[in-house]
Amino acid sequence: MLPVGIHLSYWQVNWQDDLQPLIGKAKSAGFDVAEFPILEPRKLNLKNLRRTLDHEGMLASCGTGLDTKRDISSPDLSIRQAGVSHLRACIESAAILGSPVLGGVIYTAWGDIPPKDRKLRRAYAIENLQIAAMIAEEYGVYLCLEVLNRFEGWLINTVEEGLELLAEVNSPFVKLHLDTFHLNIEEDDIASSIRHAGENLGHFHCVENNRKVPGRGHIPWGQVRDALREIGYSGYLVTEAFVNPSGEVGNALFIWRSLADDPDLEARSAAEFLKREVANV
């Protein structure tokens, strides 16, 4: 049975909302893993978060997203350096929290669509991912590049593009991070894309086509489970659903209406669904 988790931003209204009490909410909902949005790592009380994880008996996973001021693909050297510095702090945070991975949009700025210099930006992304990979190896954390849909990113929209980028970075500490919400938009066949990722799959998000929790849409979860089983995936299954239209989080993820009448009840439903339908690989 694979460990199942939930991204703690499921309960956040604003990105800086306290994460510590959300660990207990994840535990109460039936999850094994709390996934942390590591957006401002130097502002987090990592020791307290780790103590709470240990007290609750919870595992951790971590993710982050680069922005236009911390973009390792930027033509501006100072911005690239700020991006590498941010990734270092995130990797260090993941290690303190006991997370084996740092996933997310860690190769270019999330939501930024450059109109021209994509070839140059791709080269910068590869160069700096190689630097970040050496830092990750030092801490024993795997960098997992999230494959995004075309409306949120430009560099890797498909598993094939992700594998091409991995080949150029050429580090065993860099893998792919797949998310069924994005796969549903970009891939012709979700299960085939998972099989194509194979041993390069390092982290997996379970989200419905409508960004609700698993079991509330039309993702073919049986096929997902079978594909994960075939490739021998042994990582975490994390639901990164966003259901609340309030505040910064809802606005950033384009959630304009409530997608859950009772978020806590829906979280429990998601944990039960994943354990019953997907995690038994």
pLDDT score of 71 more than 80: yes
Q: Rounded to an integer, what distance in angstroms lies between the CA atom of residue 129 and that of residue 73?
A: 9
pTM: 0.97
What is the torsional sign of CA 232, 237, 240, 241?
A: positive
pLDDT band at 116 (very low <50, low <70, confident <90, very high): confident
Name residue, tokens 């038994």: 280
pLDDT digits (tens, 9 = 90+) for 4-22: 999 999 999 999 999 999 9
The torsion angles phi and psi of 24, rounded to 5 degrees, stand at -65, -35
pLDDT score of 115 = 75
Element (H, E) at 264: helix 263-277
pLDDT score of 85 = 98
Active site members: 146, 240
Q: Rounded to an integer, what distance in angstroms lies between the CA atom of residue 207 and that of residue 162?
A: 19
Q: Are 162 and 147 in contact (CB under 8 A)?
A: yes
Mean pLDDT of the chain: 97
What is the average pLDDT across 33-60?
Answer: 97
Q: Are 36 and 97 in contact (CB under 8 A)?
A: yes
Q: What is the CATH number for 89?
A: 3.20.20.150
pLDDT band at 113 (very low <50, low <70, confident <90, very high): confident
Domain count, the chain: 1
Q: Rounded to an integer, what distance in angstroms lies between the CA atom of residue 173 and that of residue 163?
A: 14
Residue at 77: amino acid letter = L
pLDDT band at 281 (very low <50, low <70, confident <90, very high): confident
pLDDT score of 159 more than 80: yes
Which has the minimum average pLDDT: 60-64, 126-130, 182-186, 248-252?
Answer: 248-252
Q: Are 40 and 64 in contact (CB under 8 A)?
A: no
**What length is written for the chain?**
281
Q: Which domain holds residue 153?
A: 4-277
pLDDT band at 40 (very low <50, low <70, confident <90, very high): very high
Element (H, E) at 163: helix 159-169
Encoding tokens for residue 87? 């990734």
Element (H, E) at 104: strand 101-109
SS3 230: helix
What is the average pLDDT across 227-253?
Answer: 95
Residue 61 bridge partners (DSSP): 35
What is the average pLDDT across 96-119?
Answer: 94
Encoding tokens for residue 126? 């590869």
